[in-house]
Structure 1
Amino acid sequence: MKRALSAAMCFALALGLLAGCGSLDEVELDVSEPPTASTEPTDTAALELDWDAAREKYDPETTVLTVDGDEVNWGEFFYWLNYCYTSYAASMGAVSDFDTPYIYDNSMTIGSMLIDAAKSYCVQYHALEVNAAKEGVELTEEDEEALQALLESDIKDIVGEDGTEEELFATLDEIYVSRELYDFMNRAAALYSRAYTTLYGGAGEKLTEQEVMDKAQEYGYMTAKHILILTTDSEGEALDEAAKAEKLAEAQDVYDQLKDKSGEELETAFDTLMQEKSEDTGLASFPDGYCFTTGEMVEEFETATAALEPGQLSEIVESDFGYHIILRLPLTPEDKVMQFDSAGTPYTIRAVVAANLYNDRFSGWIENAETSWSAVFEDLDLKELFGL
């Protein structure tokens, strides 16, 4: 029984270090709904494409292009071409003419867009390989063991408990994945993660405190604790005016106990009252306060925090949730942000900065990659490839 396969069958490997931070990027194939109905194809017969015959037009080892001097062969390029076509057709419908202008960029045809997208995937993988080598990044014994375990898992999951490597790659060949390509892509997945660890540490520990703090300031991070007195009921509905007045009086009492304190005395008293009085459901998850940046908290909370200096107490701040009394804290590299790993553990600012720096570095490798088509493929035409 077949399942969703490992990296070799995915057009974008699941390599993100953080949600939205650092990954072997997906190439954009804009296949959202067309902007107007008049631009949709109508009653035009879909092309009948013989992919197997097209694949056989060239030897799989024929060089299609180079990326920073690294060769991309026909077998690899053809896999991505097939995937890009399949992805496009699944969302937009089968292609009726490769010469049709691409709906989201009329300077391209559908055919040239597919070729460009396939090339972009190849650039990502090879730019990673070339630049990781320049940085001295090598897979470890642990990585090699994980790759072997992945192979064994794929054999079991794709062709069965008693399956063999030969059977696995016969199955993968149906979607144009050779053993060489399978190994290359899975090793790229491992190399992507290993490069991050080598350059920045597993959680950014190779960055200096100053490097982390400079970026944290650039990203606009702030850390604050608050005591929240809710003005909504358990269903999230606003309390009536009488009940709300009682809540305000409660918040005022808390504020009055804190307003004349400062330094360690203020923080100690604040923590005690926070545990006793705060009705924030997130307190258990963030007992040391919230580390956030623009747009992650309600506007009133964000604005009030930004107006404070570290160690300073706010007056009572009202939001749709209730009354907040905020204590801004000094920012540190180990503050936990509101992004989480797969186990639900929040990342630190240090980890976020490292992931963003790596993502920028990886993007630079791609953007600065030098590519060159081989003479045979520089004018590749899909109509000619498929004999149309």
Structure 2
Amino acid sequence: MDLMKRGLGVFLAGAVLTGALAGCESKPAADDVTYQLTGIARDAVLLKVDGQPVTAEEYFFQLGQDIGYMEQLGALSGEDAWEQEISDGKTLSQYVKEDALQLVKYYSVIESKAKEYGVTVTDEQKSELDTQFEQLEESLKEQGGTLQMAVDAQGISQEGFRSFMEQSSYLVQNLYEKLSEEGGPLVPTDEDMDAYLEEEGIYRVKHILLSTRHENEDGTYTAFSEAEEAQVKAEADALTAEIRAASDPQALFDEKMNARSDDGRDADGNLYSPDGYTATPGQMVQEFETAALALDVGEISDPVKSEFGYHIILRLDADTDETRASYPQYRFSQLTEEWMQDVQVELTDAYESIDPKDYYTKLTAHAQEIQAQVEVNQQATASPAPTGSAAPEPTASPAASPAPSASAQP
């Protein structure tokens, strides 16, 4: 998994780490990167979501991922980048801090709902993850690094990273599948589909296109003359009248569409989309979309002029296997938003004092330290040290991003 990349579907990227949640009073472990970077032990409770503790390690890990993603987008360029407003009046610093909070909150909710529905990470999935970690370890070794160096660079422990992977790779999907079982909240009724299609503006149509432009050899187009366009309009009017007068208008529409339409065709002359188009607002040219949305299901439009020519449009029922397949993701997103609105979050003074810029500066410095050690390891492998001179030992010092490969996939 690319640790510096965020996904957007239907599932958020983030982590909630399980295990013992000790307070700051306990002595930090020697490999506690969170403590080394922040002065807060990785197992210290930084906040609670409906009473469920969220550790410093899991929050700071997510904060680092969030800032790394913004950096990839170019949001950190410029000396005043952290104080620039980027969303709803929030500065970049405020945005990433709150966004990381939303992400750990999300995964806390997912963990709670998974318990409610009896969902866990299976033994088979844990075994699969073991294999992935072994493969990652081998891959990192070939690059002059180690798994410990990679997770140190991300500001997280191996145990914390594994918990992150179990959450993000398996638990959300398992909960999604549980809720998608027959009778579950992700299986739509006809009424659910009607509401979904209306809310998302999803519609489905077929059309017969009568082109009003010539295609040139260089791939450009030349508009028909007024006389040529008038002939096309007359043909479109006659064709519309013929279809509407048929005993089975939709059958004749299909026949005429397949025989006459100037829409895209393959090398054998078959239309690319004989079953029509499923679209949402903004996907089609405005004239086409406006006419399509004004139709009832089963209704055929008058000829509609666009830059491509004259369209005769047939409105179809958008409740199909395809749109039903997209409903669970839509509904799951709604459910998670509802769940998150219902929870109570308790923040500690330690959370309130977090400075994202300061944290990421330190995280980046650690990444550079590990990168330097990896390069030493690579050079030692490429050019064996002279007899009597020991090659440098791998270091476990923490850093901000996996030096061997920021996109190493376990």
Q: CA deviation at 1:82?
A: 3.7
Question: Could you say which residue in structure 2 is the equivalent of 1:345?
Answer: none
Question: Could you say which residue in structure 1 is the equivalent of 2:391?
Answer: none
Per-residue CA deviations over 1:48-82 (Å, capped at 9, x if unaligned) read: xxx98742623222222222222222222232344
Distance of aligned partners of 1:57 and 1:361 in 2 relative to their CA distance in 1, 3 Å threshold: same
1:354 aligns with 2:354: no
1:271 aligns with 2:237: no
2:292 is matched by which residue type in structure 1?
T
Q: CA deviation at 1:101?
A: 5.2
Question: Could you say which residue in structure 2 is the equivalent of 1:287?
Answer: 274
- The counterpart of 1:247, out of the listed 207, 232, 242, is 232
Distance of aligned partners of 1:246 and 1:201 in 2 relative to their CA distance in 1, 3 Å threshold: farther
Alignment of 1:346-385 (within 5 A): 348-374=322-348, 376-380=350-354
1:92 is matched by which residue type in structure 2?
L
Alignment of 1:1-388 (within 5 A): 6=1, 9-10=3-4, 12=6, 14=7, 16=9, 22-24=10-12, 54-55=36-37, 57-86=39-68, 91-93=75-77, 103-104=85-86, 115-140=97-122, 143-160=125-142, 167-189=146-168, 190-200=170-180, 206-234=187-215, 235-262=220-247, 265-281=248-264, 284-334=271-321, 348-374=322-348, 376-380=350-354
Contact 2:204 2:276 survives alignment (8 Å): yes
Q: Give SS of 2:264's match.
A: coil
Q: CA deviation at 1:110?
A: 6.7
1:10 is matched by which residue type in structure 2?
M
Quick check: which has more Rg, 1 or 2?
A: 2
Contact 1:213 1:333 survives alignment (8 Å): no
Segment of structure 1 superposing worse, 108-117 or 210-219? 108-117
- Structure 2 unaligned regions, length at least 5: 15-32, 363-410
CA distance in 2, matches of 1:23, 1:15: 6
1:177 is matched by which residue type in structure 2?
I
Q: Give SS of 1:294's match.
A: coil
2:309 is matched by which residue type in structure 1?
G
Per-residue CA deviations over 1:320-365 (Å, capped at 9, x if unaligned) read: 111111222234232xxxxxxxxxxxxx211332211111112233
% identity of equivalent residues = 26
Q: CA deviation at 1:378?
A: 4.7
How many residue pairs match? The answer is 331
Tell me the TM-score normalized by structure 1. 0.71
2:319 is matched by which residue type in structure 1?
T
CA RMSD of superposed structures (Å): 3.8
- Structure 1 unaligned regions, length at least 5: 1-5, 17-21, 27-50, 335-347
Distance of aligned partners of 1:153 and 1:277 in 2 relative to their CA distance in 1, 3 Å threshold: farther
Tell me the TM-score normalized by structure 2. 0.67
Contact 1:200 1:207 survives alignment (8 Å): no
Contact 1:172 1:178 survives alignment (8 Å): yes
Distance of aligned partners of 1:174 and 1:217 in 2 relative to their CA distance in 1, 3 Å threshold: closer
Per-residue CA deviations over 1:131-156 (Å, capped at 9, x if unaligned) read: 23223333345544543453344334
Contact 1:313 1:328 survives alignment (8 Å): yes
